[in-house]
Amino acid sequence: MDSLRALSKRLPSAEDMPTLKGIQNTSLKDVSGKVTPRLTFLRRRIRIRGNSKVSVPLYLVLVFPIIVLIVILLLFVRHPNSPGGRLIPSGAPPSIRKISEKHDKVFVNGCLDPKVQNSAPRANAAFVVLARNKELDGVVESLKSVERHFNRWFHYPYVFLNDGDFNSTFRETVLNYTSSSVEFGKIGPEHWGYPNWTDQNVAKEGIRKQGDQAIMYGGMESYHHMCRFYSGFFYKHELLQKYDWYWRVEPEIKYFCDITYDPFLHMERNKKVYGFTIAVKELKETVPNI
């Protein structure tokens, strides 16, 4: 009997027994109070420089280059010339804007049969190309495009002009890329360069100023001579006296569509005198006296 009393004293009473609620509270307390979070080290602050008082959290140092990399990738993918841009379209394709016919109607919609079109009489017209010997590669590029997209059907002649002499390599190469008639001419000093009444020092100073202003081609003396020639003298050249119409062709140009009608004839029929693909505003720095 004494041994039973001694055993009962050793056993815990009901008040001392842990309950389920007590176990849960203790566990939660241990977890929140004793266990250290795994990402706490990201809050460490790092000085920008060794002796600097400015510091930033470590997570900013790690996240910033990742954000920069994502932005670069997005710009690369969305760039129109990027190979990745073909995989992820930037949006719906733009709708084709109808050409306004408020003032004039377009000559032709779509493609015509060039065999039918070239059966009509030709206009009294020619292609005019102002180039130098060193621009031969660009001239060949233009000839290929013009012949491929238009002149293989209509066979209009070419007139090549230069303020110098065309060498034999230039002449022979040009003749290899067209079956049309070709003439080569030289621009005389009366149509190229400074006129006699011009103060050349003042003119050259104006050209230098345009070059200093980073105006495209503004600092090139030859470019100004070319503009002056095309503005008022080209049609006075002896090789162009016999023509009524001209089509100006520059080196290194490309046509992206076939021209299956004769623009010269349509110009005549519609009483037009000048045609162009796009009109841009003139830079006021290039015409300060206007």
Report for 11-20, 84-93, 174-183, 279-288: range of highest mean pLDDT: 174-183
CB atoms within 10 A of CB 131: 19
pLDDT tens track for 27-43: 444 444 444 566 676 67
pLDDT tens track for 241-285: 999 999 999 999 999 999 999 999 999 998 999 888 777 787 777
Residue spans of the domains in the chain: they are 38-74, 124-257
Q: Read out DSSP for 66-122?
A: HHHHHHHHHHHHHSTT-GGGGTS--SSPPPPPPPP-SS---S-SS---HHHHTTSPP
Residue 28 has a pLDDT of 44
Packing angle between helix 136-146 and helix 168-175, nearest 10 degrees? 20
CA-wise closest residue to 245 among 117, 152, 156: 156
Beta bridge partners of 56: 46
Query: Quick one: which H or E segment has residue 209?
Result: helix 200-212
Sheet of 125-130, strand order = 182-186, 158-162, 125-130, 245-249
Q: What average pLDDT does the segment 93-122 reach? A: 79
Residue 11 has a pLDDT of 47
Q: What is the pTM of this model?
A: 0.64
For 124-257, which CATH class? alpha beta
Tokens at 121, concatenated: 């009489």
Q: Are 77 and 88 in contact (CB under 8 A)?
A: yes
Residue 39 has a pLDDT of 65
- First-last CA distance in the chain: 129
Residue 9 has a pLDDT of 52
Which range (56-60, 160-164, 246-250, 264-268) has the least confidence?
A: 56-60
More confident residue, 53 or 263: 263
CA-wise closest residue to 246 among 120, 114, 129, 155: 129
Report the C-alpha gap between 132 and 129 in whole angstroms.
Answer: 10
